[in-house]
Amino acid sequence: MSSETGDKRSRILAAAMHTFMEHGFAAATTLEIATRAKVSKRELYALVGNKEAMLAACVAGRGQRMRLPADFPAPTDIASLRSALRLYGVTLLRELTDPDVLAVFRLGISEWKRSPRVAASINEQGRKPARAALDSLLYSARAAKLLKDDDPAAMASHYRSLLSGDFFVWLLLGVEKAPATADIERRAAEVTDRFLALYAR
């Protein structure tokens, strides 16, 4: 993909999200998105596709950012497992509390009846990849005999519950403010230590 093509695609996705947020997914038109992105409708369809494809691409970009780095090594001892869990916690909290991500969740909630594909896209392109990253980490840690023989999926669910608690709901409602970087790092460290106190061998 050329630099110019990549720039146009980025403009289209940014314009799509702004339009979805302003008008709702169902009412947003590809004409307005193309106009905002300063491309023709033909280019819009050629570079990204229809509205569903635009939404999926926007959410997928965030979903990819919720994973551990591709070259992050599998844990070999408790110290490396603690480091990986802290990194995952920081990554997940940073992304989930980003204003653009919160806006996508709010869009999914507001459009749940008219456009259930929004929530489906968030689930497929965002939630599932993020969950798979933690599941994979815990499976490898259990295989390395670093964790008890509990179900990794259940352990992953417990870790996420410890990490987010109920504050994410209040963030969505605008009652709570997004935590600062230092707060995110502290929470990830505390949750990781509590998790390992429960499940480490």
**Residue-averaged pLDDT of the chain:** 88
Reported as a pLDDT band with limits 50, 70 and 90, residue 1 is: low
Q: For residues 187 and 161, is the Cβ–Cβ distance under 8 A?
A: no
pLDDT of residue 60: 73
Query: Is pLDDT of 182 > 90?
Result: yes
Reported as a pLDDT band with limits 50, 70 and 90, residue 3 is: confident
What sign for the dihedral angle of Cα 138, 139, 141, 145? positive
Superfamily, domain 3-49: Homeodomain-like (1.10.10.60)
pLDDT of residue 23: 86
106-117 residue pLDDT tens:
888 887 887 787
- HEC profile of 166-183: CHHHHHHCCCCCCCCHHH
The answer to whether the 3-49 and 59-199 domains have the same CATH topology is no
For residue 194, the one-letter residue type is: R
84-103 residue pLDDT tens:
999 999 988 998 898 878 88
Collapse the DSSP code of 147 into the 3-class scheme (helix H, G, I; strand E, B; otherwise coil) and give the result. Answer: strand
Residues belonging to the chain: 201
Q: Which of 128, 143, 125 is nearest to 62 (CA)?
A: 125
Average pLDDT over residues 145-157: 93
How many percent of the chain have pLDDT more than 70?
Answer: 93
pTM equals 0.79
Query: Is pLDDT of 81 > 90?
Result: yes
CA gap 59, 79 in Å, rounded:
33
CA gap 95, 21 in Å, rounded:
18
Query: Is pLDDT of 26 > 70?
Result: yes
pLDDT of residue 69: 65
Beta bridge partners of 147: 200
Domain ranges of the chain: 3-49, 59-199
Give domain 59-199's CATH number out of 3.40.50.2300, 3.30.420.10, 1.10.357.10, 2.30.40.10. 1.10.357.10
